[in-house]
Amino acid sequence: MKKIIFSIALVMCATVAIYAQSINKTMPLKQEEVPVTVVNALQKDFASITPELTKGSWTVMTQQTNGQPIKPLFYIYKAKKGDSKFEARYSPAGELESSKGASKDTNSGS
């Protein structure tokens, strides 16, 4: 009887541990699916090179925990700038978190 109770308790603990984990997922986005604040921030922060960027694409890293609604963690814009690659990562609020391939314009106001 003690073995059965112990086994049930063990299974319940394992179930709770699995259920409590969050799931992170990267998903591609169309330009119109990206929040306007994020798109505007990219255009403002990199105004001097925006015309040079080609074949750009957006992705979002999302997180879902315990059946809660999916929450965006950050947005990434990747593009080609001539022969090199460009990447910018933004928070959902439109704040630049990091960039590769170019520096933020100094006259962008931030």
Give the confidence band of 15 by pLDDT, cuts at 50, 70, 90. low
pLDDT top residue among 22 and 42:
42
Give the pTM.
Answer: 0.74
81, exposed or middle or buried, with CB in 10 Å at 0-12, 13-18, 19+?
middle
pLDDT value of residue 70: 87
Is 109 domain-assigned? Answer: no
Is 50 domain-assigned? Answer: yes
Overall number of domains in the chain: 1
Q: Measure the CA–CA gap between 8 and 33, rounded to whole angstroms.
A: 46
Give the confidence band of 6 by pLDDT, cuts at 50, 70, 90. low
- In degrees and rounded to multiples of 5, residue 29 shows phi and psi of -130, 150
Partnered with residue 86 across adjacent β-strands are 79
pLDDT tens for 27-76 read: 999 989 999 999 999 999 998 887 887 789 999 999 988 878 889 999 99
By percentage, how much of the chain surpasses pLDDT 70? 84
Is 8 domain-assigned? Answer: no
Is 14 domain-assigned? Answer: no
Of these ranges, 9-23, 64-78, 95-109, the one predicted with the greatest mean pLDDT is 64-78
Q: Measure the CA–CA gap between 46 and 2, rounded to whole angstroms.
A: 66
